[in-house]
Structure 1
Amino acid sequence: MKSSGQDAWWRKHRLQAQLDGLLAAWRFLTVVPLPGSRGTLPGDLAASLPYFPLVGLTVGLLLAVAAGPLLLVCPTPLAAVLFTALLAALSGALHLDGLADTADGFASARGREQVLAIMRDSRIGAMGVVALVLVLAFKAAALASLSAERLPAALLLAPLAGRTAILIHLALLPYVRASGLASIFLAGPRRSAAGMGLVLLGLTALLAGWAALTALIAWGLALVLFGLVCRRRIGGITGDTLGAVCELAETAVLCGMALEP
């Protein structure tokens, strides 16, 4: 039997491991700096998956809180563009980069291995640029069409939905590369993290009211349809497609909120 001292040590160790996972999620998903070096080990990144939704919710909360003051000094279209830029800037455009690479690969009339090679190329092609322009335009247009009352809810929900989408694809689709940064996450609790993300997303949607219903339907359709495309083109997912699904999920949520009468 474990002594009380051993139990205390294990509790402290587990708490520290969870804290490292939280810090790793924040460091990976945002460019907001943190002091110290905790949460920087590869093992910390694998343990960070359960905290992806929490980081998304925190980013959304920051944007939602900023909505009121910003709308007092900016017209809605300008505020919409600023919020679109902030969504990209807070993540260091990490997910947009994955979207561009995915668009270049998937839009090519090539076989699986060539598609994967194109996606690994750091240079952005014409279809990548088109995908970036369309996604950013849809986000800005959706935000610009929202009322001042509904805008904070949309900003709160979208980043959470995007990070939860990453977890769902990680949990349900096979990873097709032999290596890569995203392969680190395969050792993490993918299914339980996805379940936790769904619960948090559902609770947050309840706070947003009926306006979130259309957003969640659009979000679900985006996940399913893009997942089918990933299966067909490359047989599963890569780090780039995870970035792409995050961006597509955010866009779907914002457009869904805008479409709700």
Structure 2
Amino acid sequence: MKKRNKLPCVVSIAGSDSGAGAGVQADLKTMAAQGVYGLTVVTAVTAQNTKGVDRFEVLSAEMVAAQMDAVFTDFPVAAVKTGMLGNGEVVEAVASGLRKYRARNIVVDPVMVAKSGDSLLEKDTQQALEKELFPLSAVITPNIPEAEILCGEKIAGIREMKEAARVLHAAGPSYVLIKGGHLQSGELMTDLLYDGEQFFYYRAGRVFSNDTHGTGCTYASAIAAQLALGLSVPLAVLAARCYLQSILPCSPGLGGGCGPMDHFACRR
């Protein structure tokens, strides 16, 4: 019998997006494009499209834990990406499962607000994220609005990004990646990575597009995939950033609002 080549396995622990531009749907497409096998633990179901989120329902912590048991007892998980978790009970269940199975290469995308501006969590979630998940993570990936919520301070430029990174690193993650796309900085964007001692800067030309739904999910999933493939965090961020830059201009032109990207454009 021919020996099978085992693909690295990466699990997305996140919400479902009925428009398939973000959430576990975007994560699975990203992982496939990166050459890893994507698994899912669904934490919430959203009714959303390119125009916004109509409603969402968070699954029970017990159901989330059962999915984690099913995945981790049968698949050799090499990396984890968390996204929308919904409430504190789910965060605690996820953190407990990650500790139970000694998960590694954990990428925490602290999803708080959808691209449309709709809130995607309940009030107790932020404290649970900081207490339970941040200390387990290889890297957390807040955007500017999320970093402002987590730190309680406005971020207007690189100086404030660096200070926010220091504050967030004190919560326990190995690395903090603050994504600078929301800053009004002209044609150049800067993402900042911090490991507690050194800052890494990732600068790229701004891609002007209305179809950016799911960029945060895609970025974090690509980082997790690259960690599963053996890259260090700084190199995984670089590879994920290059991937995102390559697909941002490639939109299938779907929906009447902020549309999705073509996750496989770079492979065509």
Does TM, normalized by the shorter one, top 0.5?
no
User: Normalized per residue, which structure has more helix?
Assistant: 1
Q: Which has the higher contact order (CA 8 A, sep 6+)?
A: 1
Question: What is the TM-score when the length of structure 2 is the normalising length?
Answer: 0.30
User: Normalized per residue, which structure has more strand?
Assistant: 2
